[in-house]
Amino acid sequence: MNATELAAAIAALPKAELHLHLEGSIAPETVVRLAANYGVEVSAEEVAARYRYTDFAGFIEAYKWVTSFLRRPADYRLIAEELFDRLIAQNVVYAEVTLSGGVMLRRGQDVEANFAALIGAAERAAVKGFRVQWIFDAARQFGALEAVETALWATRLAPAGVVAFSVGGDELALSARDLQPAYELARSAGLHALAHAGEIGGPEIVREAIDMLGAERIGHGIGVLHDPILMDDLAERGLPLEICPTSNLRTGALGRQLGADGARLDRHPLKSFFDRGLRVVLATDDPAMFETDLLGEYRVAAAMGFSPAELARLAEASFALALLPQAERQAYLDLFRGQAETLGLL
């Protein structure tokens, strides 16, 4: 199978994405429209320039700026509809989308009204065969009390499609111990526990997220490359890492983990993790802010040396590790395997 045939086969596969931030999916042209609604004049080129950064702090500043134009439920519905349309165009049939509940709360927004608008966008996409579930995310740098408040909102919205609580943002800003009350609240309501860890931090933060917070999946986790014992433990336990290669490059996380000479996609540890037996899924993180999409990430993985069969196994993992009841997960897996076999990938 040549490169063109492989790209076509991956595009034709039904796919899932498990690490995707709604607010990081806003295309520059949409930022222009949103900003204009609030009297701010900015060009698409200026937005694109803000979407380029040299370190994680620069990314956080850009994220704060772009989310400042999300003020009404209609804004959230617009960006969700556009994201879902782009996913559907890539044959993504299922996604777990992270929502920055902590940012909404900090800005005094009506969380319930915003979420109702998102449900409307999800219902529109469902007609096209796309399903979404939501992860409510607290910003670690906002502190322990705001994390608890975000977790409380996650529990309130669970009947409407919130399936997990997570913490993102600056992983060096607050200890895992301080976050335990928020996670205990979320788990007590039946929500899954996820965590960003080991993106810019070391393996000890990943271990704390697992041992102290009960994280079932780790967002990024590339810092585990410094701890072979932890990598083997993760492989043995089957605890997944959500890997976003282009994000790691663009935020400077990859260079931070590997040094300046390591800030290249061909040095990314994704393939070595996969070969070592770690459970990994491929995702985009904040696709608009990193000028990527899910098909682009599979092209990146192919360039790392993944064979067609390995790419299929990588894509299958996103269904196998989805936060779904077993019967629903199996239905997606059956759909995927049938198509992968037809395309000659399995």
Residues annotated as part of the active site: 199
- The residue type of 240 is P
Angle between the N-to-C axes of helices 73-89 and 28-37, in degrees from 0 to 180, rounded to the nearest 10: 170
Distance CA 28, CA 45 (A): 8
Distance CA 321, CA 227 (A): 24
CB atoms under 10 Å from CB of 275, counted, come to: 11
Give, in order, the Cα–Cα distances in Å from 261 to each of 254, 258, 268: 10, 7, 11
Helix (H) or strand (E) holding 16: strand 15-21
SS3 category, 168? strand
Side-chain half-sphere of 322: how many Cα atoms within 13 Å? 27
Instruction: Give residues with Cβ within 8 angstroms of 293, minimum separation 6.
Output: 86, 90, 284, 287
In the DSSP assignment, the letter for residue 91 is: T
Distance CA 214, CA 333 (A): 26
